[in-house]
């Protein structure tokens, strides 16, 4: 079956702009998580959505937001972009339901965002 699909793969934005990234999870997966990867901070958890509800949230400013649609597709938005937001943004999907035993997460290829 198809894997996790993230679009676009590459993006260049200017400081102050906003950006929306998209993630389509594996069919049947209802949990979508977002991570930011930078050379300095490594892989950091942004937030997780399950059945259209944000279930977990990392330690990022309010400029970072997300949502999930009824078909489990998810988007994340970053407003008022800063140079430090340049990173690889990764999306992961899993089938884990609330209070259910954890399952492995499957990652997409990521969206590389460059802020200039």
Partner 1 sequence: DAKTTQPTSMDCAEGRAANLPCNHSTISGNEYVYWYRQIHSQGPQYIIHGLKNNETNEMASLIITEDRKSSTLILPHATLRDTAVYYCIVRVGVGNTPLVFGKGTRLSVIA
For partner 1, the closer CB: 54 or 80: 54
CA distances (Å), origin 99, targets 27, 29, 45, 91, 96: 21, 15, 20, 21, 8
Phi and psi angles of residue 74, each rounded to the nearest 5 degrees, phi first: -130, 150
**Smallest distance from the beta carbon of 4 to partner 1, in angstroms?**
7
Question: For residues 45-64, which are near partner 1 according to CB under 8 A?
Answer: 45, 48, 50, 55-56, 58
Q: Is 11 in the site for partner 1 (CB under 8 A)?
A: no
Give the SS3 label for residue 85. helix
CA distances (Å), origin 7, targets 22, 25, 90, 91, 96: 5, 12, 10, 10, 23
- Pick from 25, 74, 76, 108 the residue near partner 1 by CB under 8 A: 108
For partner 1, the closer CB: 17 or 41: 41
- Contacts with partner 1: how many residues (CB under 8 A)? 30
Q: Is 12 in the site for partner 1 (CB under 8 A)?
A: no
Enumerate binding residues for partner 1 (CB under 8 A).
4, 31, 33, 35, 42-45, 48, 50, 55-56, 58, 90, 92, 94, 96-102, 104-110
């Amino acid at each position: 079956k198809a894997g996790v699909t993230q679009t676009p793969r590459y993006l260049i934005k200017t400081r102050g702009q906003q950006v929306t990234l998209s993630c389509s999870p594996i069919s049947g997966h209802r949990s979508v998580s977002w991570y930011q990867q930078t050379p300095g901070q490594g892989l950091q958890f942004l937030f997780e959505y399950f059945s259209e509800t944000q279930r977990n949230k990392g330690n990022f400013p309010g400029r970072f937001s997300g949502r999930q649609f009824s078909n489990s597709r998810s988007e994340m938005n970053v407003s008022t972009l800063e140079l430090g937001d340049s990173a690889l943004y990764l999306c992961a999907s899993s089938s884990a339901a609330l209070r259910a035993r954890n399952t492995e997460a499957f990652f997409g290829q990521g969206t590389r965002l460059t802020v200039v």
